[in-house]
Chain A
Amino acid sequence: MTDMILFGVFPYVAVALMVGVGIYRYCIDRYSWSSQSSQFLESRVLFWGSIPWHYAILLILMAHFLAFLVPSGWAVVVGSPLRLYLLEVTGLALGISTLIAVVLLISRRIGNARVSAVTTVVDWLVLLALLLQVATGVYIAFTLRWGSVWYMHTATPWLWSLLKLDPQVHYLAALPAVVKLHVFNAFLIAALFPFSRLVHVVSVPLTYLSRPYQVVVWYRQRRVR
């Protein structure tokens, strides 16, 4: 029953919040949509926190999504022992980077008076959820090895069952508590997304690569030239 609520119902609630409140906020309060960077207040520690955090978490997230969305391709990747070994080592290294980074980011929010002055309760919730997520992730990678393989037989079919609106929580039933915590917390972060600075994640400014350098906006319709 608990499993059903945590892994059969909560993910839908989280995604509904993420999409619903996210769109609501984007439409009603777009001014609030910002990365809320604090580099202006503290730059040195942020360098050691922000850069490893962002690059490592992007790669780790990409691996999670690939193994979920293209399991057949993923199976080929982890098919050879050498590739699997390299993947696991890389993943663990990236995970440890995110863990160190998030600890640095938290320490800076506590230790620097200026940064702590602009930190809100929601910022703390986000940081603690992220800390819990990467800590459990690293723990799992360390103790429950070859996650890149067993993910395909547990998380992947479960996620697909969620997508098909037919949640099959039994895929997760046998997993250790720490994995369940990792999974639940992932959706908790998704639920926090629209209420926090995490919204900047979807503002990937890729259009910058192709737009003209100078932007000119006309209030009036220009006459035909």
Chain B
Amino acid sequence: MNIRAQVSSVFHLDKCIGCHTCSIACKNLWTDRKGAEYMWWNNVETKPGTGYPTQWEDQEKYQGGWVKQGEQLQLRIGGRWGTLGKIFHNPSMPTMDDYYEPFTFRYGDLTSAPAGDDQPTARPVSMVTGKPMKIEAGPNWDDDLSGSNIYAANDPGVVKLSAEEQQQLFAIEKMVMFHMPRICNHCLNAGCVASCPSGAIYKRGEDGIVLINQDKCRGWRMCVSACPYKKTYYGWSTGKSEKCILCYPRQEAGEAPACFHSCVGRIRYLGVLLYDADQIESVAQRDDKDLPAAQREMILDPFDPQVIADAKKSGVADQVIEAAQRSPVYKFVKEWGIALPLHPEFRTLPMLFYVPPLLPVMSMNNQGKQKLADDFFATLEEARLPMQYLASLFAGGNEEEVKAVYRKLIAVRIQRRSVTVGDLPAEEVSKACTVAQLDTEAIDAIYRMTTLTRIKERIVVPPMLREQAIEAGMDPEEHKQEMGFGKRISPKRRW
């Protein structure tokens, strides 16, 4: 056993209102500078939709993640020689047009324009060239299903559905969508780490945060291709790649990451998971449909005395084990089993889990009257978003995984309705619990964690033991709008 700790997260999609506050908090803190304007370490996508960068889930196009080659895993962009062979030009690397050309407006013209007959306007200008430009895309161009006949219809998950299902999805008055915030998954079997020719990307042993060493990065950009989530970004001005750092400077000061802290819907949960690092390779090779379960299996029970002993032997600090016991992520993922990884079939073992949105038809329109459906579980199959679509997002195509989660979420609702409204027969409540395989205690705990908990329970930042770390004590605000964290001199090109 080689037990490691991993700072992991759960995003509860039912609670996400799509306000983008997380994105802005992150942008203000980390990527508000030249070459990084287009980097959205945190972004919020509308699903169905093509996401950011456009169609990032389409690995035929971008060649991200891993593929099974017989008994071995290989990066989709190629083996080691294949990866090096693409160093002079990487055909599967996204270009700026797959994201958008960053822009600003000439606000100064509004006040400095000479007097005239017409109203002065603030023309959009490119932040790359400084020249006037036509804005043709942005980081949330298809927000809230705008342009859905172009964008949502080309969602790689939607394209796989049958024509009938697609039609249902976009039928007027039945249109359905949900918001999906995305940050770096800080994967256990990270594609970016594996692909870096310079070996500049690494996982921190103590907390599992994946970082790019800016001094070692040579700008070969293989990480941009190999990350199937497209969460490493190439700084077009600095010639270095950058990614989400899970606000490790904030976490080291005991604070929640900025996107977690600012979340209006309180959808974000953070906590430590203990896992067996010796299992990474074997778990990443399981069949697509087994991946969510296999990933759950490698997460260890922090209350098990044997696990605690092994963790201590592997060098996990006592305080971190204690934090793992309070981890809400452990409860969501392992104890209750209602959070699933995003696209496990990319085989990077992402450590950000999602509670899928509850979008089945819970009430039917009966001649203008809303009526509770006769049987909740009959409606699961008639869910507004096809199970197949959700399974392709969160379970490697395994619909049973998604259905199991929904049964639990529905059981929680039925139980709460019987408590607060009291109009449901007792046998229906107990039937829902039995089918969902949840007891009343667990349901109460889920309800509590989803609705009532305060920040210290939702976000359990483990002690980062700064006093023992090498790099500590640098002020992240010191060089705001100038450079990334950890630099003492401006990243402006001097050579």
Smallest CB-CB separation from B317: which chain A residue?
Answer: A220
Smallest CB-CB separation from A25: which chain B residue?
Answer: B495
Tell whether, in the assembled complex, residue B93 and residue A39 are in contact, meaning their CB atoms are under 8 Å apart: yes
Query: Of the candidates B131, B471, B491, B493, which one forms a contact with A113 in the assembled complex, judged by CB atoms under 8 Å apart?
Result: B131
| Contacts A35-B219, A43-B95, A200-B218; A29 near B494 (Cβ below 8 A) | yes
Give the interface centre of B89, B202, B215, B468 by most chain A CB atoms within 10 Å.
B89
What is the CA–CA distance of A214 and B206 in the complex, to the nearest angstrom?
A: 15
**Closest CB-CB distance, A95 to chain B, in whole Å?**
18
Interface residues of A in 174-225 (CB under 8 A from B): 195-197, 199-200, 203, 205, 207-209, 211, 213-220, 222-223, 225
- Cβ–Cβ < 8 Å partners of A41 in chain B: 95-96, 128, 236
Interface-side segment among B191-199, B300-308, B381-389:
B191-199
Tell whether, in the assembled complex, residue B218 and residue A195 are in contact, meaning their CB atoms are under 8 Å apart: no
Tell whether, in the assembled complex, residue A30 and residue B215 are in contact, meaning their CB atoms are under 8 Å apart: yes
Query: Of the candidates A37, A47, A114, A208, which one forms a contact with B219 in the assembled complex, judged by CB atoms under 8 Å apart?
Result: A37
Tell whether, in the assembled complex, residue B493 and residue A219 are in contact, meaning their CB atoms are under 8 Å apart: no
Tell whether, in the assembled complex, residue B205 and residue A214 are in contact, meaning their CB atoms are under 8 Å apart: no
What is the CA–CA distance of A7 and B314 in the complex, to the nearest angstrom?
A: 62
| Contacts A32-B493, A42-B95; A216 near B215 (Cβ below 8 A) | no
Interface-side segment among A10-18, A50-58, A61-69, A156-164:
A50-58
**Closest CB-CB distance, B232 to chain A, in whole Å?**
12
- Cβ–Cβ < 8 Å partners of A39 in chain B: 89-90, 93, 95, 221
Whether B359 is near chain A, meaning CB under 8 Å from some CB there, is: no
Whether B240 is near chain A, meaning CB under 8 Å from some CB there, is: yes
**Closest CB-CB distance, A49 to chain B, in whole Å?**
9
- Cβ–Cβ < 8 Å partners of B83 in chain A: 208
Query: Of the candidates B201, B218, B469, which one forms a contact with A203 in the assembled complex, judged by CB atoms under 8 Å apart?
Result: B218
What is the CA–CA distance of A25 and B489 in the complex, to the nearest angstrom?
A: 13
- Cβ–Cβ < 8 Å partners of A138 in chain B: none
Tell whether, in the assembled complex, residue A219 and residue B205 are in contact, meaning their CB atoms are under 8 Å apart: yes
Tell whether, in the assembled complex, residue A114 and residue B202 are in contact, meaning their CB atoms are under 8 Å apart: no
What is the CA–CA distance of A113 and B89 in the complex, to the nearest angstrom?
A: 20
Interface-side segment among A80-88, A116-124, A142-150:
A116-124
- Cβ–Cβ < 8 Å partners of A25 in chain B: 495
Tell whether, in the assembled complex, residue A222 and residue B218 are in contact, meaning their CB atoms are under 8 Å apart: no
- Cβ–Cβ < 8 Å partners of B234 in chain A: 37, 40
Tell whether, in the assembled complex, residue A114 and residue B199 are in contact, meaning their CB atoms are under 8 Å apart: no
Whether B134 is near chain A, meaning CB under 8 Å from some CB there, is: no
What is the CA–CA distance of A224 and B190 in the complex, to the nearest angstrom?
A: 26
Tell whether, in the assembled complex, residue B236 and residue A225 are in contact, meaning their CB atoms are under 8 Å apart: no
Tell whether, in the assembled complex, residue A218 and residue B205 are in contact, meaning their CB atoms are under 8 Å apart: yes
**Closest CB-CB distance, A126 to chain B, in whole Å?**
10
Tell whether, in the assembled complex, residue B202 and residue A55 are in contact, meaning their CB atoms are under 8 Å apart: no
What is the CA–CA distance of A140 and B205 in the complex, to the nearest angstrom?
A: 57
Whether B251 is near chain A, meaning CB under 8 Å from some CB there, is: no
Tell whether, in the assembled complex, residue A40 and residue B205 are in contact, meaning their CB atoms are under 8 Å apart: no
Whether B364 is near chain A, meaning CB under 8 Å from some CB there, is: no
Tell whether, in the assembled complex, residue B206 and residue A218 are in contact, meaning their CB atoms are under 8 Å apart: yes
| Contacts A35-B220, A37-B219; A214 near B96 (Cβ below 8 A) | no
Tell whether, in the assembled complex, residue A211 and residue B199 are in contact, meaning their CB atoms are under 8 Å apart: yes
Whether B110 is near chain A, meaning CB under 8 Å from some CB there, is: no
Whether A46 is near chain B, meaning CB under 8 Å from some CB there, is: yes
Tell whether, in the assembled complex, residue B129 and residue A113 are in contact, meaning their CB atoms are under 8 Å apart: yes
Interface size class of A (residues with CB under 8 A): 35 or more
Tell whether, in the assembled complex, residue A215 and residue B128 are in contact, meaning their CB atoms are under 8 Å apart: no
Smallest CB-CB separation from B99: which chain A residue?
Answer: A40
Tell whether, in the assembled complex, residue A216 and residue B202 are in contact, meaning their CB atoms are under 8 Å apart: yes
What is the CA–CA distance of A116 and B216 in the complex, to the nearest angstrom?
A: 26
Whether A107 is near chain B, meaning CB under 8 Å from some CB there, is: no
Whether B176 is near chain A, meaning CB under 8 Å from some CB there, is: no
**Closest CB-CB distance, A75 to chain B, in whole Å?**
32
Tell whether, in the assembled complex, residue B199 and residue A33 are in contact, meaning their CB atoms are under 8 Å apart: no
Whether B204 is near chain A, meaning CB under 8 Å from some CB there, is: yes
Whether A90 is near chain B, meaning CB under 8 Å from some CB there, is: no
- Cβ–Cβ < 8 Å partners of B101 in chain A: 114
- Cβ–Cβ < 8 Å partners of B130 in chain A: 117
Query: Of the candidates A31, A47, A114, A209, which one forms a contact with B128 in the assembled complex, judged by CB atoms under 8 Å apart?
Result: A114
Smallest CB-CB separation from A43: which chain B residue?
Answer: B95
| Contacts A215-B201, A219-B469; A31 near B194 (Cβ below 8 A) | no
Whether B91 is near chain A, meaning CB under 8 Å from some CB there, is: yes
What is the CA–CA distance of A219 and B219 in the complex, to the nearest angstrom?
A: 25
Interface residues of B in 51-92 (CB under 8 A from A): 80-81, 83-84, 87-91
Interface residues of B in 120-152 (CB under 8 A from A): 126, 128-131
Query: Of the candidates A37, A46, A53, A196, which one forms a contact with B495 in the assembled complex, judged by CB atoms under 8 Å apart?
Result: A196
Tell whether, in the assembled complex, residue A122 and residue B220 are in contact, meaning their CB atoms are under 8 Å apart: no
**Closest CB-CB distance, A94 to chain B, in whole Å?**
15
**Closest CB-CB distance, B463 to chain A, in whole Å?**
12
What is the CA–CA distance of A211 and B198 in the complex, to the nearest angstrom?
A: 10
- Cβ–Cβ < 8 Å partners of B218 in chain A: 33-35, 200, 203, 205
**Closest CB-CB distance, B462 to chain A, in whole Å?**
14
Could you mark each residue 211-237 of chain B with 1 if its beta carbon is under 8 Å from any beta carbon of chain A, else 0? 000111111110000000000001011
- Cβ–Cβ < 8 Å partners of A214 in chain B: 189-190, 193-194, 203, 280
| Contacts A32-B493, A220-B465; A225 near B313 (Cβ below 8 A) | yes
Whether A72 is near chain B, meaning CB under 8 Å from some CB there, is: no
Tell whether, in the assembled complex, residue A203 and residue B198 are in contact, meaning their CB atoms are under 8 Å apart: yes
Selected A-B contacts with CB under 8 Å, 12 pairs = A29-B495, A31-B487, A37-B219, A37-B239, A53-B88, A113-B126, A200-B219, A207-B199, A208-B80, A209-B80, A214-B203, A223-B313
Which residues from chain A sit less than 8 Å from chain B, CB to CB? 25, 29-43, 46-47, 50-51, 53-55, 113-114, 116-118, 120, 122, 195-197, 199-200, 203, 205, 207-209, 211, 213-220, 222-223, 225
